[in-house]
Every structure is written in structure tokens, then in C-alpha cells.
Amino acid sequence: MTPENISSLSLSYLVGIMILNAGISFALKFNLHQSILVAGFRAILQLILIGYCLRWIFDLKNSLAVFSLVLVMTLIASTTSLKKISYHYPGIRIFNFLALCSSVWPMGLLALWMVNAKPFFSPQYVIPFFGMILGNSLNGISLSVDRFHGELKNRYFYILSQLALGSTPWEACQIPIRESLKAGMTSVLNTMSIVGVVSLPGMMTGQILAGSDPVISAKYQILILFLICTSVFWGCLFGILFSFYKIFPKDNSFSLNWVTH
């Protein structure tokens, strides 16, 4: 079963609705009209470009091209997540990239092995799996690391007092670490709690629209949700640990000299 093609005329109706939304925002002085129009334009441009790019890669059937694209996606995700982190420390770019790679790539490769992708580098599996895991992981890492840096700044005197009382840096930072990990995991845990009851996730919806058996679609969705949850957990944990060991030197001293914007 091949899904029905959506005509350009149908999409133009939706463009009109977006313009109407922007017009209402402008008329009522909500100051969202520019953001709505720019976001809509970017979505159209980016999705059309990636559509043609993926068509070319699918036809090429080259493993180097597929994994090169995934590497570029990882670099872009790493750069994007940095923009959501308010306080930076020296070297955060490379550590943020390592946190993404060490959590996303193992889960992506595990997904390919579990679905028995043939060939292993098949873009039909590689790009969607890595894309979904990357998208969720970058959000989780940026939220957790940003929260951790904010907690260190806001609890500066508390942490100093704990260190003065003889606590190790790890013991003094238990609350910031715990709260930061919760912040990064909240979104994916909420999704897993309501999946199948309140909403059908994107992957399952797409497979059903493409004519796949709903039970098989559900199994794929379970697979990707568990992989996403694991990737987000490890990504958040690695991001926090990298920050922790970078901010606290070997002499266990603590200051805010690392804070940059």
C-alpha cells in the first residue's frame, strides 16, 4: 500500500492558514507574526531540501554517504544544543559533542542490529532511527546541562558550605545532579507514559499511514522509545559528568570563574 500523495494545492491551503495565524497575531499585537512566518518558511525549505537529499542518498546506496550525513546531523545537533545552554565552560563544545556521540551512536547501531537491517547501512533505517534518537537526545542534554550549570550558580554558597563541612564535590552536588537529570528526562518519560493512550507517536503513525500492520508498528515504536529513553538518560548523564569534572578541578576547589555566556 502506497500512501496518497498530498497535492501542492492542499499544502497551499495550510500555508494560507499559517499566514492567517500571523495576521491575527499582528492585528492583536501579540508580536508572534514574524516568528510564525519565519518558522513556516524554514520548515518548508528545510523539509523540501531534506526530501530531495534523502531521495539522492537512497538512490546512491553508499554507506559512506549515509554515515557522513549522520555525522553532519550529529554536528548540527551538538551546535544547536549549545545555543540552549545559558552558561558555558571552556571546552564545552567538544564535551557536548562527545556526550551526543557516546549516547546516540551506540543506540542507533543497536537499533539497526535489532531490526536486522539489510544492508546494515540502509538509509531507510539509518536516517530515521538516528534522526529520532538525535532529536530527543539533544533536547535532553541541553536541558540537563543548562539546569546543572544554573543549579551550580544558584546554589554556589550551599555547595561551598558543604565542601567546607568536609563533603566531597560529588556529595555536595547531589541535589544539582539529581534535579538536572530529572529535567533532561522529563519529556521522554512523559511521552512514554501517555503513548498509545493520549497520542500515537510519529513513527507508529507514519508506518500505519504507509500501510504497515498496527501491531508491527507498535513493536517498532516500543523499540525506538526504549532506545530514545536510554540515549537521553546516558546523554544527560554524560553531559552532567563532563561538566562536573571540568568545573571541579583536582584540588576540589569551586568558583564561578568558569561561567561564560
132-189 per-position pLDDT tens digit: 999 999 999 999 999 999 999 889 888 888 888 988 889 999 999 999 999 999 999 9
- pLDDT, position 50: 87
Nearest-10 crossing angle of helices 214-247, 123-154: 40
According to DSSP, residue 6 is labeled P
Q: Do 50 and 78 have their domain in common?
A: no
Q: Do 68 and 55 have their domain in common?
A: no
- pLDDT, position 184: 95
- pLDDT, position 259: 57
- pLDDT, position 252: 63
Q: How many domains does the chain have?
A: 2
Q: How far apart are CA 169 and CA 202, in angstroms?
A: 42
Q: Of the candidates 78, 76, 18, 73, which has an alpha carbon nearest to the alpha carbon of residue 44?
A: 18
CB 104 within 8 A of CB 133: yes
More confident residue, 202 or 112: 112
Q: Peptide bond preceding 119: is omega within 30 degrees of 0, i.e. cis?
A: yes
Q: Which three cell numbers stand for residue 258?
A: 568558569
With respect to residue 252, please indicate whether it lies within any of the assigned structural domains. no
Q: Where are the alpha helices (DSSP H) in the chain?
A: 8-27, 33-60, 63-83, 92-114, 123-154, 156-164, 169-172, 174-194, 202-209, 214-247
Q: Confidence class of residue 260 from pLDDT cuts 50, 70 and 90?
A: low
- Per-residue pLDDT tens digits for 41-91: 999 999 999 889 888 888 888 888 898 989 999 999 999 888 888 878 888
CB 4 within 8 A of CB 211: no
- Reduced to 3 states (helix: H, G, I; strand: E, B; else coil), residue 199 is strand
Query: Which range has highest mean pLDDT (82-91, 110-119, 191-200)?
Result: 110-119
Q: Do 32 and 103 have their domain in common?
A: no
Q: Do 150 and 228 have their domain in common?
A: yes
- Per-residue pLDDT tens digits for 225-255: 999 999 999 999 999 999 998 888 766 667 6
- Dihedral over alpha carbons 157, 163, 167, 169 (to 10 degrees): 90
Residue with cell 497520542: 199
Domain hosting 157: range is 62-247
Give the CA distances from residue 10 to residues 13, 16, 38, in Å, rounded to whole numbers and listed in that order.
Answer: 5, 10, 20
Average pLDDT over residues 1-20: 85
Residue 199 CB neighbours (<10 A): 11
- pLDDT, position 211: 80
Which segment of 34-43, 73-82, 202-211 scores lowest on mean pLDDT?
Answer: 202-211
Pick the last residue of a domain from 9, 41, 60: 60
Q: Do 123 and 167 have their domain in common?
A: yes
Pick the last residue of a domain from 39, 60, 81: 60
Q: Do 195 and 110 have their domain in common?
A: yes
Q: Which three cell numbers stand for residue 148?
A: 546543572
Q: How far apart are CA 99 and CA 236, in angstroms?
A: 8
Q: Confidence class of residue 3 from pLDDT cuts 50, 70 and 90?
A: low
Average pLDDT over residues 34-47: 94
Q: What is the number of alpha carbons within 13 Å of residue 39 lying toward its C-beta?
A: 9
With respect to residue 256, please indicate whether it lies within any of the assigned structural domains. no
Q: Do 66 and 167 have their domain in common?
A: yes
Q: Do 80 and 53 have their domain in common?
A: no
Residue 58 amino acid letter: F
- pLDDT, position 8: 84
With respect to residue 73, please indicate whether it lies within any of the assigned structural domains. yes
